[in-house]
Structure 1
Amino acid sequence: MIRLFKHYVPHTLLLLGLIDFVMLLLASEAGWLLRIWQISGSASPDLARLPQSLTFAFTLQLAMVGVGVYGAEALQSLRFTAARLCVSVSLGILLISLLFFLVPTLAFWRSNLLYAMVFALGGLMIVRLLLAQKLGSDVFKRRVLILGAGPRAARVQALAKRDGAGFVIAGYVSMNDGPTAVPGAVNRGDIANLAAYVVAQGASEVVLALEERRNALPLQDLLRVKTTGVHVNDLSSFLERETGRVDLDSLNPSWLIFSDGFSAGRRFSSAGKRLFDLVASAVLLVLGTPLILITALLVKLESRGPAFFRQKRVGLYGQSFEIVKLRSMRQDAEVGGKAVWAQKDDPRVTRVGSIIRKLRIDEIPQAWSVLRGEMSFVGPRPERPQFVADLEARLPYYAERHMVKPGITGWAQINYPYGASIDDARQKLEYDLYYAKNYTPFLDIVILLQTIRVILWHEGAR
């Protein structure tokens, strides 16, 4: 993993992204050269076209990120990748056409754009045919040695078996700190020099997965391993990096207090975030008003009751506020006002409601809450007071998610399906804590782009 602005990106995907960017630049130039050759019979490269080529490559790559071309599945299925490449390149061309309309000096000829699109699709698929299996192989993965052989070590073992895992396990060292859950672990007493053993296994990282750390930390061993140049990590930090969430099972308050995160230095970026919220929410409300009105009419025609509904939610620092949404359920969805989790294929959802929930149209009126400053575009989803009271009593650290402003979309929303139970809420809380701990404008941009994937492929809608 490579850390970019406090967010971890797999180095294989970063390498693939860089190769793709070069391929898109080449596709852009090839489109120019082909068209000029058709007109004049000769063609040569020209640096004067660099602004157009950079615009082409940058816009298409943003579309690829948004559609999900760089997800974990990207190195697993060529069919999956081909489908998303076609969608992303098509979407990218539409964005480029709009950009060229607004900034004519960056414009391509239409024939150039068509040729560049074809070259881009072909080149990107060739890159994946040649490199996908190699980039997903163990050669590009970090070798990690685990100190511990109990249930915590078994969790790392299960994580290493996931598709898209960025590491392989070089071995386990049993530290005699509890029951053994990983067979084949080498006993620490059988290793004369742990630092030399780590180097001999070719490990680039050691993860401390002890069941009992009190008076059991092998400080001398860890110091010697560290001085060999091998990275030493505790389990909570390792899981945060590899899963993109704060693991509640291994978490303790001291880790949250002393680990990197929750930086006061983000005050300046928060001001930028608020400026973005103001501009984007105003634009969305203006442009989205016709769609809101048409949808409201359809909601009224299908079922009795108001087209909009207001609902109390819990926001920043636990303060309550009201959100406005287009109604997607029957008016009698909650008898007596009792809060009920939404379920898969929920019978309370109307036919129009089913469509607008999948397309997230029902969320558009929440831009009013963003404009007022009660919400942001990106942040943890605000929950209802009844749910919050129950979840704070049952889930540790749940109140900490209210230390950042709630959002329309968020890190949990793009990484986990719609939550409808206490267990779902726990999983989403882990993502929310990761966002609160590692917030940067870069992470917000990633979330906004990945929200396109969620909307296009109807991920998590109920």
Structure 2
Amino acid sequence: MLIAPINTRVARPHSLAGVLARWRYQAIGGLLVSTLVPYVVRLMVANDEIGMRQLHLTLLWCACAVILGNWLFRNVSIYPGVEASAFLLPSFTVSFTAIAIVLTVGRFEYARTQLIAGYVLSVAWFYFVHSTLHRHQWLRIGYLPFGAFDKLPQVPHINWVELPADGCPSNHDPIIGRLDAIAADLRIDLPDQWERTLSDFALAGTPVYHVKHLAESLTGRVELEHLSENSFGSLIPNTSFLMLKRLIDWIVAVIMGLMLLPLLLAIALAIRLTSNGPALFKQQRIGFRGEPFMVYKFRTMRVAEPGAMSERETAMTRSGDARITSLGKMLRRTRIDELPQILNILKGQMSWIGPRPEAAVLSRWYEEQIPFYRYRHIVRPGITGWAQVLQGHVADVADVQSKLHYDFYYIKNFSLWMDILIIAKTVKTMMTGYGAR
């Protein structure tokens, strides 16, 4: 049983999280940061009447875009947890794009730089708000003890409250009054009284969530029970996005390859000078649609003596592995060791974002031990991915199965916005080292 006991901790009203939990303070902060900051900066450089008029008008248009974006975000991100953050960027992209279209079609005067700055700052502000609340705000969620309620996970900042099975409390019940939401297995036949009560709660504004989807949103994982369980009702994700993603991957790989070439050569030279062996590590891995390919990485380990370890042991990398060199630790922590895979992207074997490709010997072993493991090959493997930024490197079968649930969550929510969220988390890992293992 994974349900935690009732815990009454909540964000303190006068703490930063307590203040940011209130919608009016989120909106006021967003307006101040994304409209007044660009306004003041532009005010310092505006030196004519036309420039001042554009400045004042753009201030109003930015405010409209921020209010619209916040409204969209609050209405489309109905689930708490990691799923909500995936809707933040598209919500503000839609609102600012809509305002830009109105300005262009209506031939209104506005300052383009000020509008773009407002967009960037509004996204940054609401990401800050969301991450702060995610770390500090406690939610009290009641659950019905019927069906798959044991699927609800033990996660930080969630207090689970078991609701009575033999009776339905009313909206005026003091326990219900302190709940932020209710979780129920909506795929089973609930008692008639509870079905009516859940409808009453929903009508009164208390969110009612299906337990499985709520668990996915809180953890960022999908425990796949049936192969058809993705957002499209098909085993194959959105083929249009697959084609667009391949084109974007190739263009970015060409640009990044040319820009990073001097750095890559310098790292290769440093590896050769600090340890014996080649600069690049090559290994056969399983990729898109189960096809094997040769992956390239910077070598971060000492070269093993022939016959010293089995093929499976050689392919595994464990936490604190003694074979990792001093330079290799730095390359792994910042994920720089993965950059030679730009060659794999140019060949069409990999993507920038996707499930990490496993060594062929390990992949065959995992396929024998874990149901549905091969389904992760339905999309191109990536240099970084959802499982990589949330869990990091694993080797044991139990840990691999847990990591596989993150891969299924990515496949189920396969989209441009999901990729952008992963890129943001990867940049954070590369800058801080947090999350890399």
TM-score of the pair, normalised by structure 1 = 0.65
CA contact (8 A) 2:300 2:327 kept: yes
CA contact (8 A) 2:145 2:162 kept: no
Residue type matched to 2:143 in 1?
I
Q: CA deviation at 1:302?
A: 1.3
Among 32, 41, 47, the residue aligned to 2:42: 32
Distance 2:252 2:24 in 1: 29
Residue type matched to 2:348 in 1?
G
Which string of whole-angstrom CA distances, capped at 9 and with x for unpartnered residues, describes residues 376-412 of structure 1?
1110000012211222233332222111111111111
Number of residues of Structure 1 aligned to a counterpart in Structure 2: 357
Distance 1:56 1:205 in 2: 36
Q: CA deviation at 1:447?
A: 1.0
1:74 corresponds to: 132
1:430 corresponds to: 405
Q: Report the secondary structure of 1:312's partner residue.
A: strand
Which string of whole-angstrom CA distances, capped at 9 and with x for unpartnered residues, describes residues 434-457 of structure 1?
000111111111111221001111
The correspondence of residues 257-268 of structure 1 with structure 2, limited to 5 A, is 257=229, 266-268=238-240
1:344 corresponds to: 319
Distance 2:289 2:236 in 1: 16
Change (3 A) 1:228 1:350: closer
Residue type matched to 1:47 in 2?
L
1:279 paired with 2:256, answer no
CA contact (8 A) 2:298 2:337 kept: yes
Q: CA deviation at 1:198?
A: 11
Change (3 A) 1:224 1:335: closer
Which string of whole-angstrom CA distances, capped at 9 and with x for unpartnered residues, describes residues 138-190 of structure 1?
xx87764311189x65764833xxxxx6865464233xxxxxxxxxxxxxxx4
Distance 1:303 1:50 in 2: 55
1:173 paired with 2:202, answer no
The correspondence of residues 20-419 of structure 1 with structure 2, limited to 5 A, is 20=30, 22-34=32-44, 45-47=55-57, 50-60=111-121, 70=128, 74-75=132-133, 144-148=141-145, 153=149, 156=152, 158-159=154-155, 169=160, 171-174=162-165, 190-191=166-167, 201=177, 205-208=181-184, 217-218=190-191, 221-222=194-195, 225-226=198-199, 229=202, 232-247=208-223, 253-254=225-226, 256-257=228-229, 266-332=238-304, 338-419=313-394
Distance 1:144 1:338 in 2: 44
Q: Report the secondary structure of 2:278's partner residue.
A: coil
Residue type matched to 1:361 in 2?
I
TM-score of the pair, normalised by structure 2 = 0.68
2:431 corresponds to: 456
Change (3 A) 1:425 1:377: same
Residue type matched to 1:241 in 2?
S
Q: Report the secondary structure of 1:439's partner residue.
A: coil
- Between 316-325 and 192-201, report the one with greater CA deviation: 192-201
CA contact (8 A) 1:207 1:238 kept: yes
Distance 1:63 1:320 in 2: 40
Residue type matched to 1:221 in 2?
W
Q: Report the secondary structure of 2:322's partner residue.
A: coil
Residue type matched to 1:158 in 2?
Q
Q: Report the secondary structure of 2:282's partner residue.
A: strand
Change (3 A) 1:308 1:54: same
CA contact (8 A) 2:315 2:359 kept: no
Among 446, 449, 452, the residue aligned to 2:421: 446
Distance 1:337 1:296 in 2: 27
Q: Report the secondary structure of 1:324's partner residue.
A: strand
